Amino acid sequence: MKIWINKTTVESPSKDFNEAIRFDMLDDGAKSNLKTNFEEIWRRFANDKLESVYEDLLVIAASVYTIDKRVPRSGTYSGETYDNWTRTLEVSVPVMDIDRWLAVKDDLEEILHFLSGDDWNLYFRRTEQHYRDVPYRKKYSIIKNKFDGVALFSGGLDSFSGAIKLLESNKNICFIGCREYYALTNRIKELFEIIQSEYPERNVDIIVFNADPGYPRNIDENIKKKFREDTSRSRSFLFLAAALATASLIGNEVPVYIPENGFIGLNIPLTPSRLGSCSTRTTHIYFLNHYNSILRKLGVKHKIENFFAFKTKGEIVDIVKKSNAFIQGAGRTISCSHPMRGIKGVPGRPRNCGYCFPCLIRRASLNNIEINDEYLDTFIEDYKISTTFIRNSKFADPDNGRTKDLKAVLFALHEYLKNGSIDYYVNKIINLGGLDLDDIQRFARVYMKSMEEIKIMIEQQANMNGMDLLEYIKVGLKNE
């Protein structure tokens, strides 16, 4: 499928892209079908524009994210998809530093393939026009503080714990949030206000950006709504681009932190069937290392760091569990993979469902610091619903989609109990490729420790609620 990205009102597709679907990154209003507030990043630092390489990175990342969200992986309008998953995407993107981007074209296509699972073909064309190069439309709260780094602040438990660790380490941090859906903005700001209140001696601030892809141009109105995709594996690429743009306005070599536990970061498929579609790589060490390599080739001196890369989620929360900020805010963080889905009889969104894979890992991590279900009723009220759900789940029912992640976790636990040696998981991680031996050994430990955290939670649930999950694990899943 051919896609034309535009950020001016005067540019027309080249001959090769005449039939391409089009996304316009123009001023706010009906003319734009990719709406962002990127200009808030530089205008809050009292700048008229970004250095061109960072603006180009934002435009490329927003384009990739938009395509990821709007080009379906399967169906009649999925383009050249040959396996109901892998898309072949030819994308023409306007950039100002075209020579820099041509030099990293192959590297960029490679990490995007690793990240999203698609075949990307990027075509860069030269432009001299800065994005949103228009007069200010509103008054901005100008950021004047000095910072030691920029940290992603997603509203999740890991990023919240990472913020606490950084501030406890006397770092002054500018946080960057991504409004992936409208209800998330208030939750991010609520969590930020907690850490701001608890660490008044630190210089902190936050920028929340958005990139809202509409439906593409040049397609029939009757099929527009078919151009949507539930996966968003490229979100971290965009998130990091916004953080790097922010770092560029603070100073040279300012680090960008992306706090995420190693179990989710590495994301070994829980079952053979989850190797492709369900195994995301948004904070995978291979992706982050190659992102850093591309930055060096571009002449960008900021480095992306994940200081939680070799820790389990349970180990992360154990580090910060005694802080007042954690006690106040951890229960308000959102780890759920579908936080905007309604839960019958329960008002309010976003909320954690308690049964998806990220929620199960979150739950095991809190259990690791002895926050049990009785306390969770007030600490994280969402999970009192999921306790009943998990207890009553009918695993044999193929239409019960809510048990899908739990079954996959139980399958992985069965494999762990049957084969769980360090050598077994070292070999498993080697087969994934892209890591050196030292990292493989460390990730094998993280994986096994995470399995232990989940196993302990399952055991306690079984003992308290009379569930047969332990037997289910030992016997194995017949249908997997």
Q: What is the pLDDT of residue 220?
A: 80
Determine the residue type at 146. Answer: K
Per-residue model confidence (pLDDT) at position 401: 60
**This prediction's pTM:** 0.90
Helix ranges (H only) for 267-372 are 285-298, 313-320, 324-329, 357-368
The helix/strand/coil state of 217 is: strand
How many angstroms separate the CA atoms of 252 and 420, rounded?
45
Please return the burial class of 292, using the count of CB atoms within 10 Å of its CB with bins 0-12, 13-18 and 19+. Answer: middle
Q: What is the pLDDT of residue 123?
A: 97
Q: What is the pLDDT of residue 177?
A: 97
The candidate with the shortest Cα–Cα distance to 41, out of 250, 182, 196, is 250
Residue 421 lies in a domain: yes
Does some domain include residue 422? Answer: yes
CA distance 351 to 89: 34
Q: How far apart are CA 231 and CA 352, in angstroms?
A: 18
Instruction: Supply the pLDDT for residue 98.
Output: 98
Tokens of 452: 């232990």
Kindly report, residue by residue over 155-202, the tens digit of the pLDDT.
Answer: 999 999 999 999 999 999 999 999 988 889 999 999 999 999 999 999
- Which pLDDT belongs to residue 29? 72
Its domain, for residue 395, covers 335-475
Residues 6+ apart with CB under 8 A from 214: 23, 32, 33, 34, 35
- Does a structural domain hold residue 350? yes
The ranges of the chain with pLDDT < 50 are 78, 275-278, 373-398, 477-480
Whether 52 maps to a domain, the answer reads no
Extended beta strands in 371-414, E state: none
Q: Rounded to an integer, what distance in angstroms lies between the CA atom of residue 310 and that of residue 325?
A: 23
Residue 201 lies in a domain: no
**Residue 414, Cβ neighbours under 10 Å: how many?**
17
Report the distance separating Cα 14 and Cα 129, nearest Å: 18
Please answer whether residues 36 and 211 qualify as being in contact, where contact means their C-beta atoms are separated by less than 8 angstroms: yes
Q: What is the pLDDT of residue 225?
A: 75
Please report whether residue 147 resides in a domain: no
What pLDDT does 381 receive? 46
What are residue 79's phi and psi, to 5 degrees?
A: 75, -135
Q: What is the full DSSP assignment across 63-109?
A: HHHHHHHHS-SSSTTSTT-SSSSPPEEEEEEEES-HHHHHHTHHHHH
The sign one gets for the Cα dihedral 109, 113, 119, 120 is negative
Q: What is the DSSP letter of 130?
A: P
pLDDT of residue 272: 60
Q: Is residue 418 part of a domain?
A: yes
Number of domains in the chain: 1
* Interatomic CA distance for residues 159 and 188, integer angstroms: 11
User: Which pLDDT value is given to residue 467?
Assistant: 55
171 domain residue, yes or no: no
Question: What is the pLDDT, as a whole number, of residue 392?
Answer: 44
